[in-house]
């Protein structure tokens, strides 16, 4: 009877451990190596128990031996798998790991010796068929093997326990140690005892089954403490600060996280008593919105915060709605910041507009009196032959030019700062550009006894497209600086060019001087606005420290660059590089032969005379009228001056004028209105005449504006006599021009 009971117990153990293995096999998720090892342990354990149950149920010794022989396969595989999992969990690495696994694999070598028929004797006992070992090779090897495996497992687990930092690892190692101890004790009964002539009792078989179940427990515990989606999502849900509300399929709030409780200022239980409309101001049933994911904005009734709600539908496996998740984003601060930014932008725009208005006004207000000073002075220069008077007038001319340059610099700088500086690209003559630059610089260098060389390649294209005014400004600034800061020697402008792509060239213009040079430590400060470097040396030389800062920004606007090399006390090289489109690639030829023909302080001679030409000048400022009349006196033209737009309209109805110089800013009817009325009045005799805007408004974009309004051209104040003649010459009918007598 007891034999049957033992077999049943072993069968039951085989079923339990087998089912445990199946449970792991059926478990969800991708299987890892540890999962396969546990499956192997369970199956080997089940195998072991099953064949030992069969063994003890036998009456025939031979069959019993066969059962043991098959069962022993499970025993060895079990010991190898257990060794593997202990090595894995204990974190043993290197030689120890290899030795342990390698040694456990020796089991398969021992197996054939251990199952030899002569190694064991089978006979019937009180608890069924059993056996005893002789002191044979296979038995001895097996015993040594078992003892060595158990000792190595205990050592590995002791190592794990000692080195583990986390408590869960300590618990795991303790469980495994217990399990090993149980198996060790159990195996005394059927491994060691039979060697001393005792009948083998299946102690290790029973112990390994219990050990396998303990191991499975340890495995479940180990898995639980690993990060998985299912165990971590709950943690995330509760720890996230954003309120997350879960509604069931009946749209009833059922779960809230801590973030919700804090946000609504209620306990989680109180929160769950609320309806969605108790929480948010809603115009519609948000659960009935189409689509799986929706975003809406709503105000929270309980705390008046403005929230972004992300509403997700949760489906079951039949795609029936299980519930809804609402994730709440508090947008209040963001919306407030946006409003603030909008307000600030509005303020900044207003300030910018005020700045632009200020610029336009300042430009107008300052240019008008300078126009008067320069114009009147020019008239004095032209009319007077008294040397002292001419000398005084020349000084006034120089001073007013400096003043104008200064104002222009300040205006340019403000324009760049407020982003109002524009680069206006037009075709221009390379010959004119360098010839004019040479003429302007030569006057300054000649005064100081410096040489001035222009090295312009003869193969340069003749006509380029770019902002000539700004390029001139940049080069003139660097050339002026070179002559300002050079006492001995001279200045060279060296230009190089190369083709870049089709119809585009890159220009490299270097201004080389033999002047005072710049200290290395001052190089960085050169381009700072209002920064003058080496102040004690340069304070006697006039300047504001704005020039290079403007040059650098202009170069940036033209997508070019500027570099400086300098040796203190020896001289400097300022190099600008920029690209220009080529309009006419024919070579420029020699330039300097014709450049610089203009002489300083040369007696004025008009560039043309046209006694039959009729010019009407309209300006509310009497001084300006006097200036223009005076400047054009020697051309012999018939000049009529009026002070209002109304007078202009009346006069032009009666008389035809070849050119009308029309001021923009005038009281009552301004220049633009006068122009529009003139152009729309069919009876006006000057509809076809050239009408040139005459204005002190010199800020960017003005030229385009005037042309768009219907003006033929544009002249800015202060009016330069030569420039005025040039523009009139351009628009006067050829037949009216006479050769100079």
CB of 552 to ligand ADP, least distance (A): 9
Tell me the C-alpha distance between 610 and 729, whole Å. Answer: 9
Rounded to whole angstroms, how far apart are CA atoms 504 and 578?
11
Q: Beta strand 713-716 with 690-695: parallel, antiparallel or unpaired? A: parallel
Nearer to ligand ADP, 180 or 572 (CB): 572
Binding of ligand ADP by 666 (CB under 6 A): no
CB of 700 to ligand ADP, least distance (A): 21
Residue 626 CA to residue 617 CA, distance in Å, equals 10
Contact between 483 and ligand ADP per CB under 6 A:
no
Q: Does 544 bind ligand ADP (CB under 6 A)?
A: yes
- Whichever of 60 and 524 has its CB closer to ligand ADP, that residue is 524
Helix and strand numbers, DSSP H then E, in the chain:
23, 19
Total of residues contacting ligand ADP (CB under 6 A): 21
CB 471 within 8 A of CB 431: no
In this chain, which of 547, 596, 606, 671 binds ligand ADP, going by CB under 6 A?
Answer: 547
Q: Is 413 in the site for ligand ADP (CB under 6 A)?
A: no
Sign of CA dihedral 629, 632, 636, 638: negative
What string marks each residue from 442 to 481 as x (binds ligand ADP by CB under 6 A) or -?
Answer: ---------------------------------------x
- CB closer to ligand ADP out of 143 and 486: 486
Nearer to ligand ADP, 201 or 485 (CB): 485
Q: Report the nearest approach of ligand ADP to the CB of residue 448 (Å).
A: 13
Contact positions with ligand ADP (CB under 6 A) in 557-576: 572
Q: Of the two residues 170 and 484, which places its CB atom closer to ligand ADP in the complex?
A: 484
Query: Which of 133-141, 290-298, 384-392, 536-544 is the region at the interface with ligand ADP (rule: CB under 6 A)?
Result: 536-544
Q: Which is nearer to ligand ADP, 192 or 564 (CB)?
A: 564
- Inter-residue contact 40 to 81 (CB < 8 Å): yes
559-568: string of b/e by CB count within 10 Å (b at 16+)? ebebeeebee
Nearest residue (CB) to ligand ADP, 564 versus 583? 564
Distance CA 573, CA 514 (A): 9
According to CB under 6 A, which one of 516, 588, 595, 727 is a site residue for ligand ADP? 516
Would you count residue 620 as binding ligand ADP (CB under 6 A)? no
In the three-class reduction of DSSP (H, G, I as helix; E, B as strand; rest coil), residue 571 is classed as strand
Where does 384-494 have alpha helices with state H?
A: 387-417, 430-448, 468-484
Using the CB atoms, write b or e for 635-662: b if 16+ within 10 Å. Answer: bbbebbbbbbbebbbebbeeeebbbbbb
Cα(307)–Cα(260) distance, rounded to whole angstroms? 12
Choose which of 532, 553, 614, 664 interacts with ligand ADP (CB under 6 A): 532
Cβ neighbours of residue 697 under 8 Å, at least 6 residues apart?
360, 363, 364, 664, 665, 716
Is residue 82 within the footprint of ligand ADP (CB under 6 A)? no
Among 474, 526, 675, 694, binds ligand ADP (CB under 6 A): 526
Q: Which of 215, 548, 610, 696 binds ligand ADP (CB under 6 A)?
A: 548
Q: Which secondary structure element, helix H or strand E, spans residue 266, and what is its range?
A: none
Query: Which region, judged by CB under 6 A, interacts with ligand ADP, from 192-200, 468-476, 543-551, 730-738?
Result: 543-551
CA–CA distance, 285 with 191 (Å, rounded to integer): 75
Could you give the C-alpha distances from 376 to 5, 38, 382, 564, 630, in angstroms and in order?
A: 134, 108, 10, 41, 8
Based on the shown chain and the rule CB under 6 A, indicate whether residue 534 belongs to the binding site for ligand ADP.
yes
Applying CB under 6 A, among 549, 621, 624, 697 the residue interacting with ligand ADP is 549
Binding piece for ligand ADP, criterion CB under 6 A, among 12-20, 44-52, 258-266, 512-520: 512-520
How far is 184 from 149, CA to CA, in rounded Å? 10
Residues that bind ligand ADP (CB under 6 A): 481-482, 485, 513, 515-518, 526, 532-534, 538, 543-549, 572
């Amino acid at each position: 009877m007891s034999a049957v009971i033992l077999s049943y117990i072993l069968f039951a153990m085989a079923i339990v451990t087998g089912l445990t293995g199946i449970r792991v096999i059926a478990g969800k998720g991708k299987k890892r190596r540890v999962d396969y090892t546990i499956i192997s342990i369970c199956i080997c354990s089940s195998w072991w128990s099953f064949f030992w149950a069969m063994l003890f149920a036998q009456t025939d010794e031979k069959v019993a031996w066969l059962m043991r022989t098959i069962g022993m396969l499970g025993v060895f595989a079990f010991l190898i798998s257990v060794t593997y999992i202990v090595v894995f969990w204990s974190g043993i690495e290197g030689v120890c790991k290899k030795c342990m696994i390698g040694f456990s694999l020796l089991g398969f070598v021992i197996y054939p010796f251990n199952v030899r028929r002569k190694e064991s004797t089978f006979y019937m006992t009180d608890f069924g068929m059993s056996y005893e070992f002789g002191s044979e090779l296979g038995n001895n090897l097996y015993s040594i093997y078992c003892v060595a495996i158990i000792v190595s497992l205990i050592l590995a687990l002791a190592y794990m326990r000692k080195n583990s930092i986390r408590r869960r690892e300590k618990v795991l190692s303790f469980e495994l140690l217990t399990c090993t101890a149980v198996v060790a004790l159990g195996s005394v009964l059927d491994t060691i005892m039979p060697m001393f002539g005792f009948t083998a009792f299946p102690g290790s078989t029973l112990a390994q089954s219990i050990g396998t179940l303990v191991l499975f427990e340890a495995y479940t515990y180990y898995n639980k403490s690993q990060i998985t989606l299912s165990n971590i999502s709950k943690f995330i849900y509760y720890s996230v600060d954003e309120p997350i509300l879960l509604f069931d399929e009946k749209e009833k709030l059922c779960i809230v996280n801590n973030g919700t409780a804090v946000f609504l200022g209620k306990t989680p239980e109180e929160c769950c008593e609320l309806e969605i409309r108790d929480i948010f101001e809603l115009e519609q049933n948000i659960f009935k919105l189409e689509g799986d994911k929706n975003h809406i904005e709503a105000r929270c009734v309980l705390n008046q915060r403005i929230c972004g709600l992300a509403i997700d539908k949760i489906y079951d496996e039949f795609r029936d709605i299980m519930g809804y998740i609402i994730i709440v984003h508090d947008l209040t601060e963001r919306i407030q910041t946006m409003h603030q930014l909008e307000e600030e932008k509005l303020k900044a725009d207003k300030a910018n507009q005020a700045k632009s208005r200020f610029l336009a006004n300042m430009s107008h207000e300052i240019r008008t009196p300078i126009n008067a000073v320069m114009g009147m002075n020019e008239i004095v220069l032209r009319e007077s032959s008294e040397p002292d008077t001419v000398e005084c007038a020349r000084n006034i001319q120089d001073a007013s030019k400096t003043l104008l340059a200064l104002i222009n610099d300040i205006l340019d700088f403000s324009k760049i700062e407020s982003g109002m500086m524009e680069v206006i690209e037009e075709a221009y003559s390379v010959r004119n550009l360098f010839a004019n630059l040479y003429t302007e610089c030569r006057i300054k260098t000649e005064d100081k006894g410096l040489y001035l060389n222009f090295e312009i390649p003869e193969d340069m294209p003749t006509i380029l497209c770019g902002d000539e005014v700004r390029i001139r400004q940049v080069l003139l600034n660097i050339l002026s600086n070179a002559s300002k800061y050079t006492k001995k020697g001279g200045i060279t402008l060296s230009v190089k060019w190369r083709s870049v792509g089709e119809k585009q060239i890159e220009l490299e213009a270097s201004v080389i001087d033999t002047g005072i040079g710049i200290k290395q430590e001052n190089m960085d400060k050169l381009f700072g606005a209002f920064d003058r470097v080496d102040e004690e040396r340069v304070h006697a030389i006039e300047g504001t420290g704005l020039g290079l800062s403007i040059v650098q920004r202009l170069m940036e606007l033209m997508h070019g660059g500027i570099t400086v090399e300098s040796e203190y006390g020896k001289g400097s090289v300022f190099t600008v590089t920029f690209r220009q489109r080529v309009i006419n690639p024919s070579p420029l030829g020699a330039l300097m032969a014709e450049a610089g023909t203009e002489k300083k302080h040369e007696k004025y001679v008009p560039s043309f005379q046209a006694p039959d030409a009729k010019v009407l000048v309209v300006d509310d400022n009497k001084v300006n009228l006097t200036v223009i009349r005076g400047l054009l006196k020697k051309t012999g033209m018939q000049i009529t001056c009026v002070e209002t737009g109304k007078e202009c309209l009346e006069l032009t109805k009666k008389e035809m004028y070849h050119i009308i110089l029309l001021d923009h800013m005038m009281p009552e009817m301004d220049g633009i209105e006068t122009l529009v009325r003139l152009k729309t009045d069919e009876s006006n005799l000057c509809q076809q005449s050239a009408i040139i805007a005459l204005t002190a408004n010199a800020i960017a974009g003005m030229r385009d504006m005037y042309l768009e309004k219907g003006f033929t051209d544009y002249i800015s104040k202060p009016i330069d006599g030569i420039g005025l003649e040039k523009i009139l010459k351009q628009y006067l009918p050829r037949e009216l021009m006479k050769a100079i007598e």
